[in-house]
């Protein structure tokens, strides 16, 4: 009787440890609540009602780097902000991932001048770049899905 009886024997699912860990990592990835500029507004839109990032188990933005797995660098990184951003990244626990959202964070965008770091990858390692000025919420979601795909290919043997 019960669900198991009706659906047949579902008692055992075989998988690899790697796949199980990577699946867990993708399904409850908590981004850091960390907005810099215009892209942060689109990041908020992604979180909010219409685009609803909670479909991917990612609605919980953590204001503290100690509790977050993913840093979405949303906006232009200035030379004054760069050391702060690096410190935040250093404070995040492993495994940690970085999405560079928007043109400014990816390569400086239209601001090639004295104030803006020409790409956040000069400071922290970046996993996924999302183009756009600012990227649409769909583009950010696509970037996040790309990161999920990347995580699913990670191997325990490569853990440092």
Where on the chain is the footprint of another protein (CB under 8 A)?
33-38, 40-42, 44-45, 48-50, 61, 63, 65, 75-76, 78-84, 86, 88, 110-117, 122-125, 133-134, 136
Nearer to another protein, 74 or 128 (CB): 74
Min CB(27)–another protein separation in Å: 22
Nearer to another protein, 9 or 113 (CB): 113
Angle between helices 17-27 and 137-152 (to 10 degrees): 160
Could you tell me the CA-to-CA distances from 129 to 1, 3, 15, 54, 135 in Å, in that order?
50, 44, 31, 21, 11
Nearer to another protein, 22 or 92 (CB): 92
Nearer to another protein, 20 or 48 (CB): 48
Min CB(31)–another protein separation in Å: 12
3-state secondary structure of 139: helix
d(CA 71, CA 61): 10
Q: Which residue has the tokens 């702060």?
A: 84
């Amino acid at each position: 009787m019960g669900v198991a009886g009706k659906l047949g024997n579902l008692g055992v699912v075989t998988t690899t440890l790697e796949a199980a860990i990577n699946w867990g990592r993708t399904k409850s990835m908590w981004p850091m609540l960390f907005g810099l500029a215009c892209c942060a507004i689109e990041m908020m839109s992604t979180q909010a009602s219409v685009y609803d990032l909670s479909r991917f188990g990612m609605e919980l933005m953590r204001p503290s780097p100690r509790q977050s797995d993913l840093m979405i660098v949303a906006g232009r990184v200035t030379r004054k902000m760069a050391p702060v951003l690096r410190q935040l990244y250093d404070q995040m626990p492993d495994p940690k991932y970085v999405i560079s959202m928007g043109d400014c964070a990816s390569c400086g965008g239209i601001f090639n001048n004295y104030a803006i770091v020409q790409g956040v990858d000069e400071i922290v390692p970046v996993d996924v770049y999302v183009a756009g000025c600012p990227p649409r919420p769909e583009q950010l979601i696509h970037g996040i899905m790309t990161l999920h795909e990347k995580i699913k290919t990670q191997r325990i043997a490569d853990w440092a």
